[in-house]
Structure 1
Amino acid sequence: MKSFIGSLVYCLSVLLLDLCDSYDLNNPSYILAQSYAQRRNNGLPHRTLNPAATDSQCRSRPLDLVFIIDSSRSVRPGEFEKVKIFLADMVDTLDVGPDATRVAVVNYASTVKIEFLLKSHLTKDTIKQAITRIEPLAAGTMTGMAIKKAMDEAFTEKSGARPKSKNISKVAIIVTDGRPQDQVEEVSAAARASGIEIYAVGVDRADMRSLKLMASNPLEDHVFYVETYGVIEKLTSKFRETLCEVKVEIVQDPCMCEARLAFQRQTQTSIQDLNAKLAAVTRKIEQMENMLGRM
């Protein structure tokens, strides 16, 4: 009888060791880590830092985007071509389409010209082709007038902007190398109040005070400066991060509720497995008893 009890105890010990090996019952934090790791790996999109590796990086944030570019006399023809290359590179980083990002360009000097509207071109190729056709206007730097025209005409639903109910971000990116010859503070404030987020890019001789008066807050995220037009393409990656970054909200679990639920689910599964194995052992013991009884 002692040998029988010893055999039973041995069988139960083997089962318990098997349970402990398959699941760490003494370490709930392990379950929490597993759960968060699984959610992180399954729930987040893969990101690529190389802009050439993918055709689209901004699927998470559709925009109504208007470039406001300075083509005054101080911007030499070769420099203006670099601005156009910068615009084309920016378009390449966007997910362009009727339900994604729409792009318009406002060109200004002493006069203001809307080169094309948000509704004019809805593919990357047609936008970039339109950019190549833009010519400088020369003469003065009426930045305030350009912002007002963008607000009053380029960002309207008639011109292709989505209605407020669609909750599509309206973004203006101003590129200039000079000091405005008109007032920009009030018109920029009005544009921001209407829901337009303004980024100000200064090049070379650009007036930093004016850039700060135009841009949205926080200024450190909306004012950029480069020494020459020759390096303006460096801002492409910066804007990709700013406009296209997928922001992941990490939800804290101070009560460790998720860990407890996972622990309970795994424990229930393990108990079911243990019951099945005990039932198998019980059947074997009954068979052994029957054999002993016949002897």
Structure 2
Amino acid sequence: YLFLLCWLSPLFPWRHRLGIDLTDFGDIKKFLKEVIKMFNIGLNKVRFGAVQFSHNRRLEFELDEYSKRDDLETAIDNIRQIYGNTYIGEALTFMQPLFKKARKQRAGSVPCHLIVLTDGESHDSVKESAERLRSEMVNIYAIGVKDANEAQLLEIAGSKSRTFFVQEFDSLKNIKNEIVQGILAQTSKRKLYLSCVLSCNSCGTHTSSSPVIPAEHSPIHPPTSLFPHLPSTARNLSIHPSIPDHTVPVKSINLFLMYSLDYTNINMFSSIACEEMTADIMFLVDSSGSIGPENFSKMKNFMRELVNKSDIGPDRVQVGVVQFSDIKKEEFQLNQYSSKSDIFSAIDKMSLIGKTTLTGGALTFVADYFRPLKGARPAVRKILILITDGEAQDAVESPAKALRDEGVVIYSVGVFNANKTQLEEISGKHELVFYVENFDILKHIEDEIIFGICTPPEGKNFTLSR
């Protein structure tokens, strides 16, 4: 068998210079507490620890020291700055025995992640110590603020997708969701991978001598050389955060955040992320003939599960559904049902239309459902979830952009023969595009979509004016 022991129980280190004032330090603590809120804290769930460093290292609290969110937040508030020069390489080396200790604390394969936060250039080499950690299956996220060396950040993380740079400390909140989404995506991929390795029901032959894949090289689809019969079970376009063409403003400190995730805990993120959410969510469902009755039923189950994981109510989440093929059919408007049971019943009553796929026309049609006349609310997030299994027979880019310009966030879920280029044209961002190879796999992306909905980018206006 193959154990992916990389996801251990982790911690966070950070380094402060004399240039970091109390306001910046407060922004750091706030950032840490906001990250913690995204997860289910507990000795058998997610564990957090903290290490602060300069030219010295100080363990602030152990992974198993606090098992409640309130206690963790108090511990973070009680952290006091240390000063000195920046030695990230030594700090990374300091983390190794902490990870080894974590391995012994919890049986099985528990994910391990390390977040490094720095505002300056390291006085020692970081590459070797970072590579050693990654070779031990530690996923490293590097956050640089202001004077941080971007080349060193990349050496630390080992991947652009896990490297972030901001100009001010108060901008840390702007990358919080991307980091947590990246962690969620990485863990989701490994769940699929490990499940296949351990069960080998559909993976072909596997032996204990097969190589362990380092965290930074682990793809969404495990290498076919190892598992020639492994089905493609995850979306093709991942939600990994990436460095934009232009740098996002934020500031820097050296901070290592590591936390352990229980492999069996499917809902990684805390329900707190969704408790206060208000949103108008429309499903736009492909009902063309290529889907067929059996897959149509699976698509309805997928919609039911997303609804079930949402906080439904007239002052929380509203849901509506429109079907399309070569015609458009309203199933129900946003304000028509205010309970999950009523929405479930309405979804169950949906019937397949058949015929061709005119997605562009459907995108234009559904725009009206985000306006007050169709039950939408002002100043509430507007989200469209498109589910399709084929290529649109009409243009999609222009009507999709019109929706996005009105503040609608579009998630595109493509199945089997869906055109991936069109999906990205519709969503406008690859991190909002999901692709699976059959309808049975839809259930594997439910949590990622809900997580994205519950933690949207900050500062966006989701109000339609008309």
- Same fold? TM cut 0.5: yes
1:162 aligns with 2:374: no
Amino acid at match of 1:187: P
Match of 1:209 among 406, 410, 421: 421
- Distance (Å, rounded) in 2 between the aligned partners of 1:113 and 1:102: 19
Report the equivalent of 2:410.
198
Amino acid at match of 1:236: E
1:65 aligns with 2:281: yes
* CA RMSD after TM alignment: 3.2
Q: Which has the larger radius of gyration?
A: 1
Unaligned runs of 5+ in 1: 1-32, 249-295
- Distance (Å, rounded) in 1 between the aligned partners of 2:289 and 2:338: 31
Contact 1:148 1:187 survives alignment (8 Å): yes
Report the equivalent of 2:394.
182
- Distance (Å, rounded) in 1 between the aligned partners of 2:273 and 2:423: 27
- Distance (Å, rounded) in 1 between the aligned partners of 2:272 and 2:359: 31
Report the equivalent of 1:82.
298
- Distance (Å, rounded) in 2 between the aligned partners of 1:92 and 1:133: 17
Amino acid at match of 1:181: Q
Paired residue secondary structure (2:376): coil
Contact 2:269 2:451 survives alignment (8 Å): no
Amino acid at match of 2:278: P
Alpha-carbon deviation of 1:128?
Answer: 1.1
1:130 aligns with 2:342: no
Encode CA deviations 1:169-204: one digit per residue, 9 max, x unaligned.
100010101110111111111111111111111100
Aligned residue pairs total 213
- Distance (Å, rounded) in 1 between the aligned partners of 2:293 and 2:425: 28
192 and 77 in structure 1: CA distance in 2 versus 1, 3 angstrom threshold: same
- Distance (Å, rounded) in 1 between the aligned partners of 2:319 and 2:421: 27
Greater helix percent: which structure?
1
Report the equivalent of 1:111.
327
Contact 1:55 1:92 survives alignment (8 Å): no
59 and 72 in structure 1: CA distance in 2 versus 1, 3 angstrom threshold: same
Paired residue secondary structure (1:230): helix
Alpha-carbon deviation of 1:60?
Answer: 3.0
More relative contact order, 1 or 2 (CA 8 Å, 6+ apart): 1
Contact 1:58 1:93 survives alignment (8 Å): no
52 and 129 in structure 1: CA distance in 2 versus 1, 3 angstrom threshold: farther
Name the TM-score, length of structure 2 as normaliser: 0.41
- 1:191-270 matches, within 5 Å, as 191-216=403-428, 219-245=429-455
Alpha-carbon deviation of 1:220?
Answer: 2.7
- Distance (Å, rounded) in 2 between the aligned partners of 1:128 and 1:178: 25
Alpha-carbon deviation of 1:53?
Answer: 12
Contact 2:284 2:321 survives alignment (8 Å): yes
- Distance (Å, rounded) in 2 between the aligned partners of 1:201 and 1:73: 18
Encode CA deviations 1:186-245: one digit per residue, 9 max, x unaligned.
1111111111111111100100111111113xx232111001011111110111221124
Paired residue secondary structure (2:274): coil
Paired residue secondary structure (2:304): helix
Report the equivalent of 1:145.
361
Amino acid at match of 1:158: L
Aligned identity (percent) is 30
65 and 247 in structure 1: CA distance in 2 versus 1, 3 angstrom threshold: closer
183 and 46 in structure 1: CA distance in 2 versus 1, 3 angstrom threshold: closer
Unaligned runs of 5+ in 2: 1-24, 41-264, 459-466
Amino acid at match of 1:84: K
Contact 2:359 2:393 survives alignment (8 Å): yes
- Distance (Å, rounded) in 2 between the aligned partners of 1:39 and 1:209: 35
Contact 1:60 1:246 survives alignment (8 Å): no
Contact 1:55 1:93 survives alignment (8 Å): no
Alpha-carbon deviation of 1:95?
Answer: 0.7
